[in-house]
Amino acid sequence: MGYNNGALRTPNLDRLAAQGTIYDRAYCPNPTCSPTRSSIITGLYPSQHGCYSLGTKLPEETPTIGERFQRGGYRTSLIGKAHFQPLKSTPEFSSLEAYPFLQDLDYWKTFHGPFYGFEHVELCRNHADEAHVGQHYALWMEEKGFTQWRDYFRKPTGTRDEQRWKWDLLEEFHYNTWIAERTNARLSEHRKKNEPFFLWASFFDPHPPYLIPEPWDTLYDPESIQVPHAMPGEHDHNPLPLRMTQMQNPDFSSYHDVPDGNHVHGYHSHLEGQKTLQKDIAVYYGMITCLDKYIGKILDGLDELGLAENTLVVFTTDHGHFFGQHGLVAKLPFHYEDVVKVPFVVRWPGKATPGRRSQAMQSLVDLAPTFLAAAGVSTIRGMTGIDQSKVWAGEVESARQHVIVENHHQPRTINVLTYVDQRYKISVHLGTEEGELYDLQEDAGEIRNLWDEPLAKDLKLSLLQNLIQADLARARVWMPRIAGA
């Protein structure tokens, strides 16, 4: 974010932040897409709503805030990335976001919902030039006269081989343009009909592959980029899989304990050349600044329609990203702040204090109950998230003293549970005595793992007790809903 990083230009997000409150300690419940995105609309942790990993699916019968908003008289929409379902259907778990549905444009001409509580959806699934392109985004390109769009996307859907850094697609046909245009069209409809709305403008970038149309691909000079890196000896006392990421050819096969286990991001070598990382980061920054431009168009649209003063706007993302920190790239099941903390800005005219920064802990699992409370709509019984509306309005300092982050990819190997409080973080890894413990006050960079240090033994036992109690507390909230109460 530009307001945190002087090398990065995000004028529109900076404007939003100046008009609202920045929360510096916001966390995702799981640092992968589908689980956290499902938590945003359910108010439940991934282990509770069932979409616990990539390749899993949020059950359609799970109650969502969109349904509750509709009962309260709101119109509900999602424009852009959904990712509540996997790219592959099975006999047991069908997926609307899977092949061959993605490219069945005749189907998408007539389907706009309902979908997980959103009465109106306009969807897309590809990141950059991925072959997953299709759905409403492809239809929009054709409506714009861009019938040769397949020439700019990867095989087998398209005709191109994989590209890197510069995408020769014109910006006018980029999905950022599509999302902003369609979001503003939807807002205009709501304004004309004077109806309340709940709308998720769901952008894809920044996300691998690092690819963006010009001029954004060269907006930042790679030579000026300072690449983060692992400190010497940093991983000597860390869990084995983390140490293996710093090897040239690590063998992670033993962690895939079922033949068709869920794909695990990051279980491979993370050794990258300096020049490559500099260029990746420069393009990643370009993707962010391009995204900022189109967020600006939505904010301008709210102003022009006279909706800004009566609309709660939250900007956040589903997880963080590594580009060299701790010697890591992209994402993986190690819960450093870089991947579990997310940007979080709340603009709530007449409520949230403009220009304020807060250290109050937030979790994306809190969004659902907070949105409902802010709108005066009754909540869903059994939600595990905490209502943060009084915190956002500045009426109380904080609503939670800790957060929980999960990762679960394989039945018996890759399963991590993390507890973070005001000062400390502890992570437990299934099936091993190894773990992680960091003092975020004295070691903000999370370089020194205290897990096995004798002087931290009592601290570790105390934090493990706190983790167990926190886990039990959220389970008690969840139980009435399972029982049908």
Q: What is the pLDDT along the chain (485 residues), one digit of tens a residue?
A: 999 999 999 999 999 999 999 999 999 999 999 999 999 999 999 999 999 988 889 999 999 999 999 999 999 999 999 999 999 888 888 899 999 889 999 999 999 999 999 999 999 999 999 999 999 999 999 999 999 999 999 999 999 998 899 999 999 999 999 999 999 999 999 999 999 999 999 999 999 999 999 999 999 999 999 999 999 999 999 999 999 999 999 999 888 876 666 667 888 999 999 999 999 999 999 999 999 999 999 999 999 999 999 999 999 999 999 999 999 999 888 999 999 999 999 999 999 999 999 999 999 999 999 999 999 999 888 899 999 999 999 999 999 999 999 998 877 788 999 999 999 999 999 989 999 999 999 999 999 999 999 999 999 999 999 999 999 998 767 655 544 43
Report the Cα 327 to chain-centroid distance in Å.
22
Angstrom distance (rounded) from CA 407 to CA 30: 6
In a domain, 448, yes or no: no
pLDDT at 483: 41
pLDDT at 260: 62
In a domain, 73, yes or no: yes
pLDDT at 413: 82
Are the C-beta atoms of 397 and 423 separated by less than 8 Å? Answer: no
Domain count of the fold of the chain: 1
**Tell me: the pLDDT tens digits for 413-468?**
889 999 999 999 999 999 899 999 999 999 999 999 999 999 999 999 999 999 99
pLDDT at 254: 85
Provide the domain limits for residue 370: 11-401
pLDDT at 54: 86
In a domain, 85, yes or no: yes
In a domain, 25, yes or no: yes
In a domain, 54, yes or no: yes
Helix H or strand E encompassing 181? helix 175-193
In a domain, 473, yes or no: no
pTM of the model: 0.95
In a domain, 208, yes or no: yes
Angstrom distance (rounded) from CA 134 to CA 102: 5
Contacts of 423 (CB under 8 A, 6+ apart): 439, 440, 441
DSSP, collapsed to helix, strand or coil, labels residue 17 as helix
In a domain, 304, yes or no: yes
**Tell me: the pLDDT tens digits for 178-202?**
999 999 999 999 999 999 999 999 9
- The CATH number that applies at residue 241 is 3.40.720.10
197: β partners:
75
